[in-house]
Every structure is written in structure tokens, then in C-alpha cells.
Structure 1
Amino acid sequence: MRGKILLTGGSGMVGRNIRAHERAGEWDILAPSSRELDLTDRAAVSTYMEAERPDLVIHAAGRVGGIHANMAHPVAFLADNAAMGQNVILEAHRVGVRQLINLASTCMYPRDAPNPLREDMILTAPLEPTNEGYALAKIMATRLCEYIRREDEGALFKTLIPCNLYGFYDKFDPKHSHLVPAIIHKLHVAKQTGAETVEIWGDGTARREFMFAGDLADAVLRAARDMQALPDLMNVGLGHDHSINHYYGAAAEVVGWRGRFTHDLTRPVGMQQKLCAIDRQEAWGWQPQTSLPEGLKRTYRHYLEVTQQ
């Protein structure tokens, strides 16, 4: 008999990649949309958990966005994400769910933490101001899982901290997109319009670690197979990073744009580096399989498909 997974955020990028993974068929996956289940409504979440009683919860839902969105709407990023995390985690535990994977974010790490970022650095120094609200909500959910484990050893409530992601089902609208999809969109438009220059925020030397979202789905579904072996708190990443300039250059090769880049030094760029330590991940015995060139090629093909529909 197959187990039942409740996947929150099943319509988002991470959720859709999990549902599309080849091992998703090993489970009966419930993935209610926000219209079907409002995760900020504690009573609604309680009723749903009571009715379905899943074997495993994967909490991938959240209000997400880039620097611009986080700076423009800090109240919503804090309040909505905190409510979702609290409702899902506490109600799952209340109805007797024994396994939960909480998906967090590297935004939880201090702004000036030395790289690579290790799991024990959380809450050791001030956060990056541009996404502090989102980070605080994710820290709360992570600590909640840890506290439940402390009080109830048999409750396998564990947290994965993915590095930055890109890939299928991403948001390509500049108002809502993260770095890599934003780059792909900008370069495609530049190619179509014959633009000779494309602007990069800052000097482009800030470094980021971007993993193909399909690889995160692989890690999550591997964890679902054996929650006992999964560390209570673990980064999921590549273990290496690239400069923003490198991402622009690599994407330009894939898109086929041959212009030159300019830099707007007045724009915010966030943390100078966000590189995950992957010691725990390596000890767990997993590593991502998709290279940056291959991931960008697959993502650009996906972008063309969804924008030309």
C-alpha cells in the first residue's frame, strides 16, 4: 500500500517539480491549491489534517519573491509565511503525523556569516535586511520542528535548507522572478529586440549558488523514503557558487545574445555571498546531478514553451 503525502505549495515551482519527479508515483500525493486550502487559516488547516491524516507532510508553500518584492512587502512576507509554517507544522503534529519535511531557505543565515554557511550558524548574528521578514518566518518554522523533535522524539519533523533554485515552473515575470529566470527573460527580450546592452544590478561580483529545482525534488523524495536517516537540519546545495556576472554570461550563451553588459551600481544586491556547506548532505550520501549549462538549456527551453503558449 502506498503512503500518503500532503504537499503544501504543490502549485509552486518546488511543489510542481516534486510532483513531476519519477519517484512521485511511489506515493499518493495530495497537493491542494491555495483556493482549496488557505494555509494561513488555522481552522481550515486543522479540518484538512483531521480528514486526510497523511503519512508525511512536505511543507513547500510560501510567499516568495526576489529582492524587490521582499523590500516592497515585508509585512506580508513575514506574516503570511509565519502563519503557514505554524499552522501546517502544529496541526500535523496535533493529529498524529509522524513525518514532516519543512523546506526552509538560506535567507535564514546571518548577513555577515562566513562562507560556506553551516547549519549551526542560524541566529548567531543579524539577518540580511532586504529579506528579513521572510527569513524570520522560515527560522520560526525551523525552530518549531526542532522543538517538536525535542519534546517528541518519535516525531520526525526535519528541515531542509535549499540553496537558491531555478528551473521548470519558475516565475519569469520581472515583477516576481528570482535571479536566474529574470536573467533569462531579460536576455531573451534583448535578443528579440536587438538590444546591444543589458543592465546588471551592482557590479556583478556578488556570488550565488543556484541549483536546478529538479535536483531538489530528487533530494526531497529520497528523504521521504527514509526519514530516520535524514539529519534533523541539512543544507541542500552544490557546494560551489558563481558570480552574478558568470550567470549572465552563461545564460547569454544559452539564449544566443551577443551584446555587452552594463552595471548599475546604485541598485541593491543583497548579501555578497551565499554558499552552503554540504558536509551533512555528503554524509547523507546525495549530490545534485544537473550542471549549470545543462540546467540553463533546459530552463530556457521551458521558458520558450510557457511564453509562446
Structure 2
Amino acid sequence: MEKILITGGKTGMVGRNIAKHPKSKDYQILTPSKEELNLLDKKQIMDYLQFHKPDIVIHCAGLVGGIAANIANPVGFLVQNAYMGLNLISASRENGVTKLLNMASSCMYPKNAPNPLKEEVILTGALEPTNEGYALAKILSTRLCEYISKSCSLLYKTAIPCNLYGKYDKFDDKAHMIPAVIAKLHHAKVNGLKAIDIWGDGEARREFMYAQDLADFAYFALEHLEIMPQNLNVGIGKDFSIKEYYQEIAKVVGFDGEFVYDLSKPVGMQQKLIDDTRLKVFGWEAKTDLTEGISKTYQYYLTLKEQ
């Protein structure tokens, strides 16, 4: 069995979904906690890699959050994510890890890039200010993987997922949109609220993929890493407006109140839809549609409420 180190596999949404995927049984999985592996400490990473000797690294760990969290803590989102990625990727190379799958983010794309977003337009324009720090950190890790792949003949590839949601997500007020809205509308239903606010006019468009589908992609990518493009968008190739997400979540949750639009709030990029042309050629596609994904995520949220 090949041994896979999954960063963020203990508490992160993406990492936990990968670690618990049915195909994980075909590998020996390492999911160290932050205490066991501090990605901000390169020496600790070196010691961990030398002791455990993983064959593959999947880098999912990071400081993550929605617009509010990014605006509130730009320094943390830049510094922590940059150090985590650079430390881990460079230490992996130095320890002879031959395969590495780096999980980046579609926020790396320029704010004014034409949609759908093609992989080659990264670093061709200014970034969206509301998550610039996080985006810069992800760009650094992506570029480092490119340099290593070219100079060292190692398979260090980057997946660029669209927005994600699903099991093991966070549901607080600094969460990403779908889990935050699930918690918001559930609270409104339980407490009999008749109106809920939406940031902006609700017309901005986003692409969201169920996190378990990304886990499925991760194992598919490992099985075909040699032919995987260096940087590859991973998504569903379809987007919806913020208003449509609220409406779909309201149906699943059972909230029948009104929506009030707060035009004073930031909404980020007007549209963020990845181009999935290369993904289709690679031979993979997501399986979970929006209603099914929201329903599964809501059921997971309810189990958390019962605990």
C-alpha cells in the first residue's frame, strides 16, 4: 500500500472527506493533528516526513473562511496559508516525496478575468480585494509546484477547485456561503423569523461543488497523476446566482419567509465560474447535483445540532 499524508485530514472539510472516502482503504492514510504536525514549523515537517516516509502528499490544510473572515483577518490568511504551503511543498521535495497533489482555489483568478475562468489566466490581472491574501498564498504554492515539476521531474500537481460545501463544513457566521446560509435559514425557521438579509443584490454568481466529489477527484487524480495537467480546474462547470442558492436552501430547510437585500455589504467578484474543458478531457466529472448536495449537508448540520 502506498502511504498518503493528508494535511487537514483531521479537522478540515476537504481533508476529512478525502480521508474518509471509500477509496482510502486502498492506501495507508496519515492524518496528523495540528499538534502532531505544525505546518508553520518546517523543521517539524522535515522530522515528520523523515519518520513516516509518505509516498504521496495531499495538501488540503489551511486557514479558510468566507468574505467576512477574509476581510477581518487578511494578514492571517496570507501569512499562515503561504507558510503552510511553502513549508510543506519544499520539505516534501527535500525528502524525496515523488507525488504531491496541491489543493488551491479558484480565488486565484484575476477579478476581471473573463468567465469561464481558464487555467492560463492566473497572474494576468489584479485579484479580488476581499480575499487577496488567501489568493496570493495559494498562487505561491501553485507556482512552487510548477517549478518543482519542471526542475526536478517530480509529480507535483495542483487542483483548482471551485467553491466547496458539504460534510465536515463549518456553519458559523464566518463560514462559506452555503453552510452559513443553511445555519442562517434553519435558525430563522426555528425562531419564526419572517425575513432574512442577503448581502448585495443577490445577482452575483457562484459555482459550488459538493466536497465529497472533490475527494472522489483526488483519488482519480492520484491514479492518473502523470497525465493530469499541471494546474487543473475542478468543478461542475455551472453556476447559480446568490439568490438562487438562497431559494434552493430555503426549500430544503423549509424556510418560507422573505429575503431583504443589503446593498451596503460586499459581494466579491460578480461571477466566478471555472472552465472545465481540461477536466472533461482528463476524464472526470462531479456526480452530486445541487439539491442532493444541500440536502446531505443540511442533514449533517442537523446531526451537529443534536450533539
Same fold (TM over 0.5): yes
Deviations 1:272-305 (A, max 9, x none): 0000000110001110000000001111000000
SS at match of 2:19: helix
Deviations 1:12-66 (A, max 9, x none): 0001111121101111010101111110001101111111121100000111011
Are positions 1:188 and 2:186 aligned together?
Answer: yes
Counterpart in the other structure of 1:172: 171
SS at match of 2:117: coil
Counterpart in the other structure of 2:4: 5
Misfit runs of 4+, over 6 Å: none
Which amino acid in 2 is paired with 1:104?
A
SS at match of 2:217: helix
* Counterpart mapping for 1:233-248 below 5 A: 233-248=231-246
Quote the Cα distance in structure 2 between the aligned partners of 1:170 and 1:302. 9
Which amino acid in 2 is paired with 1:219?
F
Counterpart in the other structure of 2:220: 222
Query: Residue 216 of structure 1: CA displacement?
Result: 0.3
Quote the Cα distance in structure 2 between the aligned partners of 1:275 and 1:113. 10
SS at match of 2:6: strand
Query: Residue 243 of structure 1: CA displacement?
Result: 0.1
Query: Residue 225 of structure 1: CA displacement?
Result: 1.8
Which amino acid in 1 is paired with 2:211?
A
Quote the Cα distance in structure 1 between the aligned partners of 2:208 and 2:197. 20
Deviations 1:174-228 (A, max 9, x none): 1x31000011011100100110001100000000000000000000011112211
Which amino acid in 2 is paired with 1:118?
K
SS at match of 2:124: coil
SS at match of 1:6: strand
* Alignment partner of 1:255 out of 253, 256, 270: 253
Quote the Cα distance in structure 2 between the aligned partners of 1:91 and 1:49. 8
Quote the Cα distance in structure 1 between the aligned partners of 2:120 and 2:229. 13
Query: Residue 83 of structure 1: CA displacement?
Result: 0.4
Quote the Cα distance in structure 1 between the aligned partners of 2:130 and 2:241. 19
Unaligned runs of 5+ in 2: none
Quote the Cα distance in structure 2 between the aligned partners of 1:272 and 1:205. 8
Quote the Cα distance in structure 2 between the aligned partners of 1:98 and 1:123. 27
Are positions 1:89 and 2:89 aligned together?
Answer: yes
* Alignment partner of 1:209 out of 207, 211, 215: 207
Quote the Cα distance in structure 1 between the aligned partners of 2:19 and 2:138. 23
* Counterpart mapping for 1:1-309 below 5 A: 2-10=1-9, 11-153=11-153, 155-174=154-173, 176-309=174-307
Q: TM-score, normalised by structure 1?
A: 0.98
Of stretches 266-275 and 221-230 in structure 1, the one that deviates more from structure 2 is 221-230
SS at match of 2:37: coil
Count of residue correspondences: 306
Quote the Cα distance in structure 2 between the aligned partners of 1:226 and 1:115. 27
Unaligned runs of 5+ in 1: none
Deviations 1:70-89 (A, max 9, x none): 11111111110010001110
Query: Residue 104 of structure 1: CA displacement?
Result: 0.1
Which amino acid in 2 is paired with 1:166?
Y
Deviations 1:90-131 (A, max 9, x none): 000001011000000011000011000000000000000111
Deviations 1:254-277 (A, max 9, x none): 001111111000000000000000
Aligned Cα RMSD in Å?
Answer: 0.7
Which amino acid in 1 is paired with 2:103?
L
Identical amino acids, percent of aligned pairs: 54
Quote the Cα distance in structure 1 between the aligned partners of 2:57 and 2:19. 14
SS at match of 2:57: strand
Quote the Cα distance in structure 1 between the aligned partners of 2:261 and 2:231. 37
Query: Residue 229 of structure 1: CA displacement?
Result: 2.0
Q: TM-score, normalised by structure 2?
A: 0.99
Query: Residue 3 of structure 1: CA displacement?
Result: 0.5
Quote the Cα distance in structure 2 between the aligned partners of 1:293 and 1:206. 20
SS at match of 1:123: coil
Which amino acid in 1 is paired with 2:4?
I
Which amino acid in 1 is paired with 2:208?
F
Which amino acid in 2 is paired with 1:135?
A
